[in-house]
Structure 1
Amino acid sequence: MQKYEKGVNRVSAGRLFEIASVLGVPITYFFEGAEGFVEHENAQFAEDGSDAHAPVMNTETLDLIAAFQKIEDTSLRKSLLNTVRAAASAFDPKLQD
């Protein structure tokens, strides 16, 4: 935990999801008030090429995550995830199963 607190290691999206679940808060809790910072950080990664494939975590992405987390029906969540993956694969063939 100390590595995360000091910023030595980054917290992955999966780990952040687990932390949010344990704490009983939506994942967006960790991003409240950080919209401008997150967009700025991702732009910086793309400019210097250090992490050109970093996902862009903008307000729309955070809203999508928050809405998805509110869906309690497991089969509906899986169905929506499959739909989103299918739509994304139309633009990026590497995403096809």
Structure 2
Amino acid sequence: MKHHVDVHVGKRVRHRRWVLGMTQQKLAEKVGIKFQQIQKYETGMNRISASRLWEIADALGTTIAFFFEGLETAPGENTNASDMPADILADREALELVRSYYAIPENQRRRLFELARVLSDAA
């Protein structure tokens, strides 16, 4: 049976890998395992040992703490009253939006940010 912590850590691995545009195969090569094991980690089917998590964090250029961010809330519980999911990175559309946002030149990005803020305040 999957433990919610293993599922959460696996999702964070998948999201970090996806944000970097890295394939499961490439991550597996960097860590020295088969891509099928990465699949099992990402779904929470297999637990990631401390040493393996260290290697994965290094390969993904992040800290170990990154994988545990957002675990303070119970599974399925929202973090605020705006009906935003507790794990916003679970939404592929949100990740694509963030990627696209950072691809915009900084001066235009700031203007877009201000527009989004005005629109959300008006909603």
TM-score of the aligned structures, taking structure 2 as reference length: 0.34
Structure with bigger gyration radius: 2
Higher RCO structure, 1 or 2 (CA under 8 Å, sep 6+): 2
